[in-house]
Amino acid sequence: MIKSGDRVLVLTDDDSRYLITLKEGGIFGTHLGNILHEEIIGKEYGDVIKIGRSLAYLLKPGIVDHIFTLNRRTQIVYPKDMGFIILMLDIKDGDLVIECGAGSGSMTGAFARFVGPNGRVVSYERREKFMERARENVSRLGLEKRVTFKLKDIEEGIDETNADAFFLDIPEPVPHLKNVLNSLKGGGRFCVLCPTTNQVQDVLEALKELGAVDVEVWEIFVRKMKTNPKRFRPEDRMVGHTAYLIFGVKVSRGGEIG
């Protein structure tokens, strides 16, 4: 049963989407008319309400809805990349995952979800406002207890040394790769996200010297299709680029890396 305080995704019959945090006495304006929060409280997910003469559906926002409605200042990691990263980093329940920076907290939330109740995410971010925003965004998923936010530049070092996975998404990744590898346990996996080919080249060069193995670079495209069954066809426009994804594994090589 949907109750006050819950976040509900209202999908109208003409495919508009509204994300509402319910409170008693609340009113929410849509292009079809107002919704009284009370009309929603007490209903079940999947139920139908009326806005004026139109129908609207009460859905539970999923992680993808969450990503696209983040309170954000920075680029987000798109679902197309996020799912692939989760698999390639082999994220699973109980893992210790480190990320830097927190950005808007989109990957933070995904990691927090997939490490499960016994896992842990440590998120390094040197800008306090970003950290707070990321924390708030993770809270919306109800997963803030799984995340430790650290207001710190990783140039000063990374406290952890036995991480299962590391996700690095910062403007200048190269100087920090050695620290990233040292924070991982043997066989630990990392992902570096780079928008430009120049950066990818520099990261690849550095990873070679640092002795990372199983290094792969991937690019992911998604294309949405129109859903008219009589006129099935792709949408006219698509996302052309978000970032290149670099993956690799840390190995020991008999002690210190680098």
What is the footprint of a copy of itself within residues 120-179 (CB under 8 A)?
Answer: none
CB of 15 to a copy of itself, least distance (A): 8
Question: Would you give the binding string for a copy of itself spanning residues 78-117, x where CB under 8 A is met?
Answer: -xx-xxxxxxxxx-xx----------------x--xx-xx
13 is an annotated ligand-binding site residue: no
Give least dist CB 75 to a copy of itself, A: 10
Residue from the set 34, 159, 197, 258 that interacts with a copy of itself by CB under 8 A: 197
Cβ–Cβ under 8 Å, residues 30 and 18:
yes
Q: Is 125 annotated as a binding residue?
A: yes
Contact 39, 47 (CB under 8 A): no
Cβ within 8 Å of residue 258, ≥6 positions away: 178, 181, 182, 209, 210, 211
3-state secondary structure of 36: strand
* Alpha-carbon separation of residue 214 from 12, 34, 189, 256 (angstroms): 47, 55, 9, 19
Quick one: residue 90, left, alpha or beta (phi over 0 = left, psi -120 to 50 = alpha)?
A: left
Decide: 7 and 71 in contact? Cβ < 8 Å.
Answer: no
Reading the block at residue 56, the tokens are: 């609207």
Cβ proximity to a copy of itself: between 34 and 197 the closer is: 197
202 marked ligand binding residue: no
Q: CB 197 → a copy of itself: shortest distance, Å? A: 4
Under 8 Å between Cβ of 73 and 104: yes
Interface pattern 16-55 for a copy of itself (x via CB under 8 A): ----------------------------xxxxx-------
Nearer to a copy of itself among residue 82 and residue 134 (C-beta): 82
Q: Taking CB under 8 A as the rule, does residue 198 contact a copy of itself?
A: yes
Q: Please state, in angstroms and as integers, the Cα–Cα distance from residue 235 to each residue in 53, 82, 224, 225, 238, following that order.
A: 29, 22, 6, 5, 7
Q: How far is CA 139 from the centre of its chain?
A: 13
| Contacts with 161 (C-beta within 8 Å, 6 or more apart), sequence order | 182, 183, 185
**In the bound complex, what is the minimum distance in angstroms from residue 68's beta carbon to a copy of itself?**
12
Q: Which of 52, 58, 62 is nearest to 82 (CA)?
A: 62
Euclidean distance between CA atoms 77 and 88, whole angstroms: 15
Q: Which is nearer to a copy of itself, 151 or 204 (CB)?
A: 204
Whichever of 39 and 202 has its CB closer to a copy of itself, that residue is 202
The site for a copy of itself, by CB under 8 A, has a size of 83
Residue from 62, 157, 175, 258 in contact with a copy of itself (CB under 8 A): 62
Determine which residue in the list 11, 22, 151, 174 makes contact with a copy of itself, applying CB under 8 A: 11
What mask of x and - would describe binding to a copy of itself in positions 239 to 258, judged by CB under 8 A?
Answer: xxxx-x----xxxxxx----
Residue numbers in the known binding site for S-adenosyl-L-methionine are: 125, 153, 169
